[in-house]
Structure 1
């Protein structure tokens, strides 16, 4: 049988060890879909309910598998739907390859059905590599470069293949002018170590510091041991950007947790009081949560020279692989005998966890959302993968979930889009079918697209050797994060027409799909619900009725934010009295004896 361009594409993906392609069919990719069928579905076609979810699933897969994710969509509307997920990959520096169909070449320029200028559409999101394949001989080099570039640049790339070409006979590139060959698929990841003199300068700054703070992001994930060594030698505390939440476990007494608006008080205090700042693999953008300019001497380590020295006025900038750079730095560091700074950091961390427990155990109407994550944190398996969505529930993930063991976690860190929590979890299950996965999702995100992807979970759950995939819905019938932003940033009361969402029974919908489900209406039910979900023989949805007036108050809330929230109450916020009382009780826990 003649090998088509579609057949060759599928074969080349196998050569690259691509095990699944997340997508949705359409006639613009019929030639590729048919080729997958002829190849006995290897790589596996994972059918989402919407192309945006395909892209999110590819992002989730890439984040947790540590290799490229691939998504597939038809021409026109299918390609358009991929964009939000691809921008999520672009902003979080995740390698994803999008393969999209296009109108037949003979119809291009004729205002044909579903004809969209895909080159223009993907020009920004796939700026590292975007190509339209118009003859078979282009394909090997184009696909190989798309994968290599995605991995090398940690970015999305896109391959456009017209529908008619997919069904043509495949002919390889020839040894002649104007044809470009390719090479054996192989992943060669370059490693970089900065100049020794620059590393010595960094060591001098760290050795001279008396109050050293370290900020780690996802770029430090492969350098956890080296970060520990530096922190021990310097007596430093370590704060984590949200994308780096799983770099170090939270049971280390000098790890202060998340930084920023969703961060912890000890991280705020670490940055407020330090005299030296080492940033490793992080592009955390909010300068106001870092030391005052001129207060601390700064060093930054990053593999990307284009992203270095742009968040804090650093004195030494080291462009290189985090682990190798830190390994070269460690022998030049001297151990600090004075541990008073480290002791202060550890005292702050211990007090913070006591505060979090008190806040989590406060009564609410009906359930305190903080307690949902607090109860999970003591039960979660040490090899679990946690995905979080964007919303007020993200606060509780950021502040309350203690990472330990081999746990992994991620979210839409930079785009902060709603909706990736459930599809990320699906991508994680395909990356690690032998590990439990937990998604922490607000009801707004669940209604946006999470409900549809429960169907995808039901469709593929038999493929996962560990059946545990737990979707926890924070059910408060409110687009809660925006409600609090309206109050705290603009002094505006809650506008119910925009903020209140329909009240539905998420657990019943899950049961209707053959999944297990838990309805949680009282705080006493939270722990047992987690216990049952984490020992279940199938995916589980936990539907927790949460109090929308438990405030996601930053531990370092400004006077202006408090003033704006008070103005919102005065201007007629619904449930104003409950809002005030709940906020006051929550904040008061920070000032009880022992703090």
Structure 2
């Protein structure tokens, strides 16, 4: 039986060591789906409940494995559904390859069913590499370039393959005019280092500083040892952008935690008071949380020259691999004997964690959402992977979860879309089937798409050597982050029609599809529920009823800002007195901690 184009695509994916394709079937990819059957499902066809979720799972897999994630969808609506996940990959610089079907070539231009202009549609999201394959001879070069480009540029790429071509006999390109062959799978990696004279200039800036701050992002993940060495030499404190939350352990006394609106007071103080700033592998966009312009001399290291000098007037920009460039920088740095700055940073960090503990212990109605993460933080295995969704629960992931050991964590950092928490967890389990995974998800995201993807977890968990996959739902019946944004930014009370959610028993749903599940309705049930989930033999859902009126007040918020929020609430919020009381009690813990300094 002749090898079809669909057969060859799967063969080439196997040669690239692609283990699974996150996908949903449709007649626009029938030829490839049939090839999976003939190939004994190698690579594995992982069926999501929706194409958007397939793309998110591919992003999660790529983030936690370091390899290219592959997703696939049919023509028309399937290709459209992939877009949100692909934009998540684009904005967070994640290598993902999308394979999408298209109307048969003979019908193109005829307003045929599900025919849309996919090249126009994908032109932005897959701008690094997008090609429609119209003859078999375009393969394998097109597929190889899509994978290589995704790897090299840390970006999504896409192949459009018409339905009729998938079923045709595969004929390889020849060594003739206007045909393009391809070399065997494998990517040549080059480690780039900034020029030595620029590294020397950077060292001069850092050596001259007395109060050095370091900001790390996901681009510093492979350079964690070098970041620690530089922090020790310079006496610096280290703040972490949200995508870099897992770069350094929060058990290090000088690590101030997350930065920004969802960040810690210790990070705010670090940036407020420093005189020198080193940015490594981060494109953190909120410049108002960086030092005042002109306050600090600054150095930035990034592998991509397009992203240096964008957020702060950096004096020296080093374009190169973070680990290699920091290694070149280290011998040129002097150790600072005066450790007073470091001592101040460490004191602020200790005070912050004391504040966090106090805030998590504040009583709420029924459960303080901060306590959910605080209880997890005390128990989480050192090799766990944590995914977070977008919403108010993200605040507690950012501030309350202490990273340590080999823990990993991520979320939709730049797109900040709702819905990736559960599919990211699925991608993480396929990336590391031997490690426990925890997803922290709001009930809005669960109702949007997380509940459906519990079905995917139930279907595939038997493939994972460590089946622990805990989905923790912050159940408050409110689209809580937007509710607080309305109050704080719009000066408006909660609008029930847009913000209130239907009350769903997520644990009952989980039990109905064969997962373990626990309803947590009282604070004292929380610790035992985490213990049960983290020792379970399979995937578990924790349905935790928490108070929507615990405010995600930024740690640097002034009482004037809090007063403005209170005035907005009192304009007509349905539970105004409880909101104000809860906010005052929470903010008071920061003041009590400050008095201990």
Distance in 2, Cα, partners of 1:143 & 1:266: 47
Q: How does 1:576-591 map to 2 (within 5 A)?
A: 576-591=576-591
The aligned counterpart of 1:273 is 273
The aligned counterpart of 1:309 is 309
The aligned counterpart of 1:542 is 542
Distance in 1, Cα, partners of 2:452 & 2:142: 34
Q: How does 1:39-438 map to 2 (within 5 A)?
A: 39-438=39-438
TM-score w.r.t. length of structure 1: 0.99
- Is residue 2:490 matched to residue 1:490? yes
**SS at 1:119's partner residue?**
helix
> Deviation at 1:189?
1.9
Unpaired runs of 5+ residues, structure 1, are none
> Deviation at 1:573?
1.0
Distance in 1, Cα, partners of 2:455 & 2:324: 44
- Is residue 2:596 matched to residue 1:594? yes
Distance in 2, Cα, partners of 1:557 & 1:89: 32
**SS at 2:379's partner residue?**
coil
Deviations 1:503-531 (CA, angstroms, capped at 9, x unpaired): 01000000001000011111111110000
**SS at 1:490's partner residue?**
coil
Deviations 1:159-205 (CA, angstroms, capped at 9, x unpaired): 00000000000000001101000001002222110110000000000
**SS at 1:381's partner residue?**
coil
- Whether the 8 Å contact between 1:484 and 1:551 is mirrored in structure 2 is yes
> Deviation at 1:574?
1.2
> Deviation at 1:559?
5.8
Distance in 2, Cα, partners of 1:345 & 1:575: 39
Distance in 1, Cα, partners of 2:19 & 2:249: 30
> Deviation at 1:500?
0.1
> Deviation at 1:567?
2.3
Deviations 1:466-515 (CA, angstroms, capped at 9, x unpaired): 01000000000000000000000011000000000000100000000100
> Deviation at 1:569?
2.1
Distance in 2, Cα, partners of 1:277 & 1:16: 41
Deviations 1:547-570 (CA, angstroms, capped at 9, x unpaired): 000000000125664243122123
Distance in 1, Cα, partners of 2:344 & 2:365: 36
Q: How does 1:440-455 map to 2 (within 5 A)?
A: 440-455=440-455
Deviates more, 1:89-98 or 1:553-562: 553-562
- Whether the 8 Å contact between 1:97 and 1:158 is mirrored in structure 2 is yes
Distance in 2, Cα, partners of 1:65 & 1:17: 13
Distance in 1, Cα, partners of 2:563 & 2:552: 15
- Whether the 8 Å contact between 1:490 and 1:564 is mirrored in structure 2 is no
TM-score w.r.t. length of structure 2: 0.99
**SS at 1:378's partner residue?**
helix
Distance 1:567 1:260, change over 3 A: same
Deviations 1:434-463 (CA, angstroms, capped at 9, x unpaired): 000000000000000000000000000100
Deviations 1:311-343 (CA, angstroms, capped at 9, x unpaired): 100000000000000000000001000000000
- Whether the 8 Å contact between 1:99 and 1:161 is mirrored in structure 2 is yes
- Is residue 2:475 matched to residue 1:514? no
The aligned counterpart of 1:499 is 499
Distance in 1, Cα, partners of 2:147 & 2:560: 48
**SS at 1:543's partner residue?**
strand
- Whether the 8 Å contact between 1:492 and 1:567 is mirrored in structure 2 is no
Distance in 2, Cα, partners of 1:143 & 1:202: 41
CA RMSD for the aligned pairs? 0.7
Distance in 2, Cα, partners of 1:151 & 1:429: 21
